[in-house]
Amino acid sequence: MDTGSQMILDLILKKTPGTLTEEDKIFLLARRSYVTRQQLELLGIDLDQELEKRATPEEKQPAETSTVKPFSKMTKPELLAEAAKLGIAVPDEATNDQIRELLK
């Protein structure tokens, strides 16, 4: 950390919880690798809560889960679409089970 930032950090760490500004909190969160959780707690900052509060909508989104439907649950149009994606020719008279076999 550069000297100027270190001086600012030292001044902020000497403050009391009630005197911290929003800018002070942002400064501390941006440089959280230079402060301990204990120092943040002494200043009345809950690191996890502050990070959650400032998270972007993308960061708050839960990770996408796979929504791939198993062949056994697919309808005939869905099975035909899968076969087409894979370049598999399916006879018009094929049953769902026969299409599933082709897809294996």
Ramachandran region of residue 3, left (φ > 0), alpha (ψ -120 to 50) or beta? alpha
* Angle made by CA atoms 16, 42, 20, in degrees to the nearest 5: 35
Give the mean model confidence (pLDDT) for residues 4-32: 90
Structure-block tokens of residue 31: 């440089």
Q: What's the whole-model pTM score?
A: 0.50
pLDDT tens digit string along 37-92? 889 888 888 878 887 887 776 655 665 665 778 888 999 999 999 899 889 999 98
